[in-house]
Structure 1
Amino acid sequence: MAEFVDRVVVYVKAGDGGNGCASIHREKYRPFGGPDGGNGGRGGDVIFEVDASTSTLLDYHRRPHRRAGNGRPGMGSHKDGARGEDLVLPVPNGTVVKDAKTGEVLVDLVGIGTRYVAARGGAGGLGNAALAGPKRKAPGFALLGEPGEEAELLLELKTVADVALVGFPNAGKSSLIASLSAARPKIADYPFTTLVPNLGVVTAGESVFTVADVPGLIPGASQGKGLGHDFLRHIERCSTIVHVLDCATMEPDRDPVSDFEVIEAELAAYGRLQDRPRMVVLNKVDVPEARELAEFVRPMFEERGLRVFAVSAVSREGLRPLAFAMAEMVEQARASRPPEEPTRQIIRPKPLGDPGFTVRQIGDNVFQVTGEKPERWIRQTDFGNDEAVGYLADRLERLGVDEALEKAGARPGAEVIIGPLEGGYVFDWHPSESGPPRVLGPRGTDSRIS
């Protein structure tokens, strides 16, 4: 069974709003107590939160469907329904949230406690007490709760570490991180022993930093060969790249210099990593032949301006200078990093004169109305209640929909679709149905609705 998952698709559904209540106050000696229906509760939100104790997306791989609580319906005696419970989903630090269909990056979650509302709960419907007014003193209807938002999201984990150890499979990266820190990755004498990034915390003097043991890279990794894309993604956030080169390899056509050039070519082809400082670690110098090879190739790397360290993860030779050199580069990167600024809230007001809807003709005396308000009002309307339908007609008339339909050339009896062409609400438009009813009937009825 897999224990580490760094890419998963999740389906989230916010809670639906509770329906409003249509209720009339009843009390002895008060035959006309008036409306007292409460409002429905708002649906719960689905929220991603960076959690320090979460290191993998495995739980979402096993249970990809998540749903927040629904709002409770309103009740009589002016009692509002309870709000639906929010669903807070913990994710590792460095999780990127994308739209699963378009690939658009929605948010990059970095920093413990950072939150992102992935789906907002639906608003609760108003009860008849909130709908009462001079024209409708005792409404016989209430508004329905709105459905919560739904989303299909792609979660990608990019490891947050200061230093990335890169190199060919079986170069000794896992042994090195185990010797530098308290991390205990799986270590064995075969390629691709490490299939997931391992993180270790290293202390060098007063400096404390994290090191990521990135799974081995091979030629073609930048094109995805050998799960290259999955591995390279974890290097993006690191401020320093350390090449771990195997000086004791017995494979033909391989040596530290060629290994370095192959890995550098893959990093360059992947992109976004050119500005990271580099360091070279010549590993396994506890083997006599490897020590000789390390002394031979050291000048070649120093000529390129690279700092070189000959180490042995087994005998721990050279580890202390290496740790302090890593700490120095990490501190330099931290000092040059611009100070973090709080995320600014962007407010985009609607243009003046924007009616909030559009009307377009799609056929002979057939029109489509789209817009946030009309479509929202459709979802709130109980079409089994004639008075609620009449209230909807009044709202559309006040918004200017009737006037816009007349200007667009609509004739009485026109077929009007509010919302999308598939799944929208269809009705026959008659201008005489707008405006308050001429004769008030029993609650729940409207004389304009046949």
Structure 2
Amino acid sequence: MASRFVDRAVIHLTAGDGGNGCASVHREKFKPLGGPDGGNGGNGGDVTLVVDSNVHTLLDFHFRPHARAGSGKMGQGSNRNGAAGEPLEMRVPSGTVVFTEDGELVADLVSPGTTFIAAQGGRGGLGNAALASKARKAPGFALLGEPGESRNLVLELRSVADVGLLGFPSAGKSSLISVLSAAKPKIADYPFTTLVPNLGVITAGSTVFTMADVPGLIPGASEGKGLGLDFLRHIERCAVLVHVVDCATLEPGRDPVSDVDALEEELAKYTPGLGGKLDERPRVVVLNKIDVPEAAELAEFVRPEFEARGLQVFEVSTASRKGLRELTFALAKVVEEYREAQPVLEQQRIVLHPLAIDDSGFTVSADPEEEGAFIVRGARPERWIRQTNFTNDEAVGYLADRLNRLGVEDALAKKGAKPGSPVTIGDVQFEWEPSSPSVAVHLSGRGTDVRLEKNDRIGAAERKEARRIRRDGTGEDESFSGTDSDDADFADDLDDDLEELDR
């Protein structure tokens, strides 16, 4: 079975989810309150694209477009953190270009070993041991793990070649690359023999360069005729473009000049995804098949016209190998000049720009779909929403504290939000209950427990006053008769003990 060449694929990637944190309290004999010991959840695995020199096509992604990395494990008690999710590495050929579904360029992967994190794994949630503080010594909750990133990406293969061969079907491009290199493309006497790009490595003296042969073009290719312009992406990186012209064609209405003009028109209609224009690249014209007498005469006739345009012209024959040596060294010279003209790649210097102090990292805007509602957008608020377990009241209170410290409540108040106004953060909508002093509304203190608001215990001052009354004989104790000295002494001792405990 013949192998298939695939140079474009759409992939659906899902990184691993982060593990949830653990809410646990240390338990040990004679230590009823051992403190929080819940571990953190493990991070989710990343989906990474890695350039592999042994991969030459995107065929694997064509049949298996869906990929998912491993998720992190949940944290456990005794300060045991969850295991990280298994990352996923996907091998891609050199020259792979990554786009979003909207056509935005994301990455250009060329050098072997280059890695690109296509989907980021979710971070694991913190356990209650990591959330403990002076104000919250024993949190009864933990943070949830973040979901892994999901992305749909488009992979396109753009061959890494120095020289690109262009021409009509059966112009002799495959024959040319076969005699100049060790490449063995399919060669036959019918049009569109070449269905996939072919690459060959050529040595000219001390210069080594690569050559790409793409399927033949015909007028109207930009409108979908023939094989179209899909394969022209493989010559976007080329330093020089070579027009291979069939001087021995017997088709009516065709000649070398009109063939080159027709292909130039199609090139002008093609927009490279990597930027630049193909019609600005250096050109070389190869008049092929001069081993045929009529073709040699036609080549001599049209040569001056191409030279008048400033193009280098070479008359060659792949059958007799005439003119191939001159062509090889001329192409090597053009490639060397192109390489020298390219800017020297310097090591990238990473510069960190700290955020301004007043940069809160979020925005508050009115909800266009609901009157009186507001939408809060920002990386941190949305991440905190994903980490919160809304079935736990203490976790919701912790979220409210974080949002208040960030300044979300003050920003909502400035926008005109009122108590009960719907507020949306991420995928969650809730009614706003402000607690910041900028809002004129009386609220009970955050963190209070209604069970502790009632206190029927007699204070120390009241007990002292009762003891003084008993000693002065101005009143009677409700619990003791006052006639028995033992009962009075016992009451005094009890009051002293209670007072000492209060101290």
Q: Provide the TM-score with structure 2 as the length reference.
A: 0.81
Q: What residue in structure 2 maps to residue 322 of structure 1?
A: 327
**Residues 435, 40 of structure 1: CA spacing in aligned structure 2 closer, same or farther, 3 A cutoff?**
farther
How far 1:345 moved relative to its partner? 4.3
Q: What is the identity, as a one-letter code, of the residue corresponding to 1:439?
A: D
1:357-390, CA deviations, whole angstroms, 9 ceiling, x for partnerless residues?
A: 2333445553332222221111101122222122
- Could you list the per-position Cα deviations for residues 3-61 of structure 1 after superposition, in whole angstroms to 9, with x for gaps in the alignment? 11112211111111111111222223322221111111111112222221122111111
1:276 aligns to what? 281
Offset, 1:408: 3.1
Partner of 1:59: 60
Which stretch of structure 1 is more off in the superposition, 236-245 or 266-275? 266-275
- Asked if structure 2 preserves the Cα contact closer than 8 Å seen for 1:393 and 1:434, the reply is no
Q: Measured at CA, do residues 72 and 294 of structure 1 come closer, stay the same or move farther in structure 2, by a change above 3 Å?
A: same
1:305–1:137 Cα change, 3 Å: same
Contact kept, 8 Å, 1:46 with 1:119, in 2: the verdict is: yes
Which residue of the partner structure matches residue 420 of structure 2? 413
- Identify the range of structure 1 (91-100 vs 296-305) with the bigger mean alpha-carbon deviation: 296-305
> Which residue of structure 2 lines up, in the alignment, with residue 332 of structure 1?
337
How many angstroms apart in 1 are the aligned matches of 2:401 and 2:201?
A: 65
User: Aligned to 1:417, what secondary structure does the other structure show?
Assistant: strand
Tell me which residue corresponds to 2:34.
33
The aligned residue for residue 122 of structure 1 is: 122
Contact kept in structure 2, 1:416 and 1:429, CA below 8 Å: no
Aligned to 2:316: 311
SS in 2 for 1:111: coil
Name the residue aligned to 1:243: 243
Please report how far the alpha carbon of residue 2 of structure 1 lies from its aligned counterpart in structure 2 after TM superposition.
Answer: 6.7
The structure whose Rg is larger is 2
Contact map agreement 2:13 2:152 (CA 8 A) in 1: yes
Aligned mate of 2:379, from 366, 372, 376: 372
Counterpart of 2:51 in structure 1 is: 50
Alignment of 1:28-427 (within 5 A): 28-100=29-101, 102-270=102-270, 272-345=277-350, 347=352, 349-362=354-367, 363=370, 365-419=372-426, 423-427=427-431
State, as a whole percentage, how many aligned pairs show the same letter.
63
Separation in 1, partners of 2:334, 2:236: 17
**CA distance in 2 between partners of 1:242 and 1:330 (Å):** 12
Which stretch shows the higher mean deviation, 150-159 or 26-35? 26-35
Counterpart in 1 of 2:457? none
Q: How many residues align?
A: 438
**1:218–1:142 distance in 2 versus 1, CA, 3 Å:** same
Q: Secondary structure at the match of 1:270?
A: coil
Shift of 1:314: 2.5
Q: Normalising by structure 1, what TM-score?
A: 0.90
SS of the aligned residue for 1:368 comes to strand
For residues 251 and 18 of structure 1, what CA distance do their matches in structure 2 show? Answer: 68
CA contact (8 A) 2:385 2:428 kept: no
CA–CA separation in structure 1 for the residues paired with 2:303 and 2:17: 65
Aligned residue identity for 1:372: A
Greater RCO between the two (CA within 8 Å, min separation 6)? 1
Structure 1 stretch displaced more, 363-372 or 66-75:
363-372
Whole-angstrom distance in 2 between the partners of 1:308 and 1:140: 81
**Match of residue 474 from structure 2:** none
Look up the equivalent residue of 1:226 and give its one-letter code. G
Note the 1:436-447 alignment, pairs <5 A.
436-439=446-449
Structure 1: runs of 5 or more not aligned: 443-450
Distance 1:59 1:84 in 2: 23
Report Cα offsets for 1:93-152 as digits up to 9, x if no partner.
22221111x211122222222222222111110011101111221212110000111111
Deviations 1:289-341 (A, max 9, x none): 32332233333323333322222223323222221221111111112221123
Q: Give the alignment's Cα RMSD to 1 decimal.
A: 2.3
Name the CA distance, whole Å, in 1 between partners of 2:443 and 2:159: 61
Q: Which runs of 5+ in 2 are unaligned?
A: 272-276, 436-441, 453-503
Runs of 4+ in 1 over 6 A off after TM superposition: none
* Partner Cα separation in structure 2 for residue 211 and residue 372 of structure 1: 47
